[in-house]
């Protein structure tokens, strides 16, 4: 008998029928003799609806109250799933994050899990109950409701699997595994049987939202066996296993996948005096305003002047512009330019380490399509470029083909 944690995302619990289908699947697992803990998201669209609702009553709702509202979606699903389970004769008990309790820090809307109290869950499990836990939410040391950032139910599931030493954490979603890129953009994308933690971490951090990045970090740190698979009948299969080691027996592909992030914005501080401390004087106030900066480029100086560019999430653009207006006065820059519609496209693969020429192939492929690269950043296992957002689909598709990832190109 094994303890399995299963997480069902928004689409998988998106209707009463889907919830009943999840209940039947869980009942089957239990009949096989497994202990099961289920983590669920809000029904699809619900979190967006709640966020929109808050915007209708206040332009800038406080993060604490935002969490009070957006965490409710998951509470509905845990109750409904338990009812559906009991309806088919499976004893079940729901837990909100606060009831578990999933202790987090107090960073509302992007809280981090600090500790999980597993004793009550263990005792219910030993009585043969299925435990259904609300994803995405926790509680801080003062009893405030917190949420873990968009897609955070994945992290709840992995954290519970780690705390209870589960045999496996299964992330059920609307695709049957991790693909070479988002199959919604490239229909020729291929499902990967395995992907290394390192690669998955890059894919997630560079925009592939199939797993929230923190869930992958957690799984790597606590050695949780993590699998992504489909909750849709007939499509289950083995999904994709996230592995610690790359498979030494297999010829490693140079590139495992292509990730992309929409909604980036680029800012350029034009005509900055080229002297020590400039990067700090520009980015210090940006960091103090709690704005995450992604890529940074300082151009080569000429005649004592230079330009300084960086990217932020598009949602942070207005806030960043405000900060930069003050910075501009302070350092005597000429002007501030903003490019709103940018995106980031990245190729990821541990095989890159032993294969030179990935960057030149990437740049050539984009050049052949007339796509101008505005910024570049590299690490051992990834190369990212910032391009205009109108080129996103095209860039992902041509790179997918160029690196031999299209389904037709598979051996």
Task: Note the residues at the interface with ligand ASP (CB under 6 A).
Answer: 9-10, 41-42, 47, 73, 135-136, 150-154
Task: Kindly state whether residue 14 participates in binding Mg ion, applying the rule CB under 5 A.
Answer: no
Angle among Cα 178, 223, 192 to the nearest 5 degrees reads 15
Cβ distance to ligand ASP smaller for residue 152 or 253: 152
Cβ distance to ligand ASP smaller for residue 204 or 254: 204
Contact 258, 405 (CB under 8 A): yes
Which partner from the list ligand ADP, Mg ion, ligand ASP, none does 47 bind, CB cut-off 5 to 8 Å by kind?
ligand ASP
Which partner from the list ligand ADP, ligand ASP, Mg ion, none does 240 bind, CB cut-off 5 to 8 Å by kind?
none
- Selected from 182, 199, 264, 294, the binder of ligand ADP by CB under 6 A is 182
Q: How far is the CB of 303 from ligand ADP (least distance, A)?
A: 45
Q: How far is the CB of 390 from ligand ADP (least distance, A)?
A: 20
Task: Kindly state whether residue 73 participates in binding Mg ion, applying the rule CB under 5 A.
Answer: no
Is 210 annotated in a binding site? The answer is: yes
Continuous segment of H or E residues that includes residue 85? helix 72-87
Is 353 annotated in a binding site? The answer is: no
- Whole-angstrom distance, CA of residue 226 vs CA of residue 169: 5
DSSP codes joined into one string, 388-403: EGGGHHHHHHHHHHHT
Task: Kindly state whether residue 11 participates in binding ligand ADP, applying the rule CB under 6 A.
Answer: yes
Is 174 annotated in a binding site? The answer is: yes
DSSP codes joined into one string, 238-262: S-EEEESS--TTSPPPS--EEEEEE
Q: Specify burial of residue 62 (Cβ count, 10 A radius: 0-12, 13-18, 19+).
A: exposed
Q: Specify burial of residue 110 (Cβ count, 10 A radius: 0-12, 13-18, 19+).
A: middle
CA dihedral over 184, 312, 58, 9, signed as positive or negative = positive
The 128-157 site mask, x for binding Mg ion (CB under 5 A), equals -----------------------x------
CA dihedral over 215, 218, 222, 223, signed as positive or negative = positive
Q: How far is the CB of 211 from ligand ASP (least distance, A)?
A: 10
Is 234 annotated in a binding site? The answer is: no
Q: How far is the CB of 153 from ligand ASP (least distance, A)?
A: 3
- Selected from 163, 175, 206, 385, the binder of ligand ADP by CB under 6 A is 175
Here the tokens at position 320 are: 């960043």
Continuous segment of H or E residues that includes residue 411? none
Cβ distance to ligand ADP smaller for residue 21 or 173: 173
User: Which residue of the chain is nearest ligand ADP when measured via CB?
Assistant: 9
Burial 302-323 (b: 16+ CB within 10 A, else e): eeeebbbbbbbbbebbeebeeb
**Residue set of the binding site for substrate:** 47, 74
**Residue set of the binding site for ATP:** 7-10, 173-174, 179, 184, 209-210
């Amino acid at each position: 008998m094994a303890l399995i944690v299963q997480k069902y995302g928004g689409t998988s619990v998106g209707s009463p029928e889907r919830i009943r289908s999840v209940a039947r699947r869980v009942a089957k697992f239990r009949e096989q003799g497994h202990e099961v803990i289920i983590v669920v998201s809000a029904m699809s669209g619900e979190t967006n609806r709640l966020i929109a609702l808050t915007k209708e009553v206040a332009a800038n709702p406080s993060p604490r109250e935002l969490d009070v509202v957006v965490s409710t979606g998951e509470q509905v699903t845990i109750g409904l799933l338990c009812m559906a389970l009991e309806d088919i004769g499976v004893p079940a008990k729901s837990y909100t994050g606060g009831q578990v309790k999933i202790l987090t820090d107090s960073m509302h809307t992007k809280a981090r899990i600090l500790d999980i109290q597993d004793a009550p869950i263990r005792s219910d499990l030993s009585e043969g109950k299925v435990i259904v836990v609300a994803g995405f939410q926790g509680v801080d040391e003062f009893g405030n409701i917190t949420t873990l950032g968009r897609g955070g139910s994945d992290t709840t599931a992995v954290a519970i699997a780690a705390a209870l030493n589960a045999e496996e954490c299964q992330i059920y979603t609307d695709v049957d595994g991790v693909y070479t890129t988002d199959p919604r953009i490239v229909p020729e994308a291929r499902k990967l049987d395995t992907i290394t933690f390192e690669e998955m971490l890059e894919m997630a951090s560079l925009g592939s939202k199939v797993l929230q990045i923190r869930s992958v970090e957690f799984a790597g740190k606590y050695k949780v066996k993590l699998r992504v698979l489909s909750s849709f009948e007939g499509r289950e299969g083995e999904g994709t296993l996230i592995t610690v080691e790359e498979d030494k027996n297999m010829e490693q592909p140079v590139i495992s996948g292509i990730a992309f992030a929409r909604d980036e914005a680029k800012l350029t501080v034009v005509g900055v005096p080229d002297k020590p401390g400039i990067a700090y004087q520009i980015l210090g106030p940006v960091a103090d305003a709690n704005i995450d900066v992604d890529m940074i480029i300082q151009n080569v100086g000429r005649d004592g002047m230079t330009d300084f560019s960086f990217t932020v999430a598009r949602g942070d653009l207005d806030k960043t512009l405000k900060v930069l207006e003050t910075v501009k006065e302070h350092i005597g820059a000429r002007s501030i330019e903003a490019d709103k519609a940018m995106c980031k496209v990245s190729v990821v693969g541990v095989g890159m380490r032993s294969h030179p020429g990935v960057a030149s192939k990437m740049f050539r492929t984009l050049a052949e399509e007339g796509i101008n690269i505005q910024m570049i950043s590299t690490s051992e296992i990834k190369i990212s470029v910032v391009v205009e957002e109108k080129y996103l689909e095209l860039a992902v598709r041509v790179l997918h083909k160029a690196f031999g990832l299209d389904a037709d190109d598979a051996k």
